Amino acid sequence: MKYVSWNVNGIRACMDKGFLEAFEKLDADAFCLQETKCQPDQVKLELPGYHQYWYSAEKKGYSGTAIFTKQEPLSVQYGIGMDMHDHEGRVICLEFPQWFLVTVYTPNSQDGLKRLDYRMQWEEAFLQYLKQLEEKHPVIVCGDMNVAHQEIDLKNPSSNHMNAGFTDQERACMTRLLQAGFVDTFRNQHPDAKDIYSWWSYRFKARERNAGWRIDYFLVSQALSGQVQDSAIHTDIYGSDHCPVSITIALQ
């Protein structure tokens, strides 16, 4: 199975910047999107052979997720089942016979860390949600998790320390996820890979200078880690301020 995740920073805008070409090039069994920024009636994508699942934020033009999958799931869950966290379209979970596929758009702590306290509440609830899923099946979780875990995961760690996405608190939450039994597939396969990022600011020609951050992930339950055959970051694909990430995994 090949799974792809991409924060498209507005699917309607991305469709004007080569989304369908990238979709066809990547040719995934499931394609997970974050930050779709649309309501169900605002976009129509013709994707023959794929089942489409969309979860929009109540606030128009904000957040939102989607999954397009060739294999029809046994069930679909929108949100994590907690009212305080389920108004922004951040999580979709598909259940398959032997695993779950979850896409997530983790809340940004924002400038001045205005939303850091909420982010900490989210992190605790989301970890609990994933562990509950694991009681039934192993989990594959992907998406924009809005944190660079280690200094190797961003270009300028010193000047960004305690900025949103690189606070000690956010990094500790990712550490807890990994300690709870989830594997960062890219770092597991490429432990020393440097200067490979998945997000670049639109300011200061950051992408041209490769002044980026690795904040988009595929994590898998420990039980699935040995089945991951490839984990990649597709820095050659444009259309958003993020690029797609992917895994190839042997699933039955």
What is the residue-level pLDDT of the chain in tens, covering all 252 positions? 999 999 999 999 999 999 999 999 999 999 999 999 999 899 999 999 999 999 999 999 999 999 999 999 999 999 999 999 999 999 999 999 999 999 999 999 999 999 999 999 999 999 999 999 999 999 999 999 999 999 999 999 999 999 999 999 999 999 999 999 999 999 999 999 999 999 999 999 999 999 999 999 999 999 999 999 999 999 999 999 999 999 999 997
pLDDT of residue 153: 98
Q: Which pTM value belongs to this model?
A: 0.98
pLDDT of residue 252: 73
pLDDT of residue 150: 98
User: Which residues participate in catalysis according to the annotation?
Assistant: 105, 144
Cα 134 to Cα 118: distance, rounded to the nearest angstrom: 24
Cα 122 to Cα 18: distance, rounded to the nearest angstrom: 33
- Alpha helix locations (H) across the chain? 11-15, 19-26, 116-134, 157-160, 168-179, 185-189
Cα 101 to Cα 93: distance, rounded to the nearest angstrom: 6
Cα 95 to Cα 130: distance, rounded to the nearest angstrom: 13
pLDDT of residue 230: 98
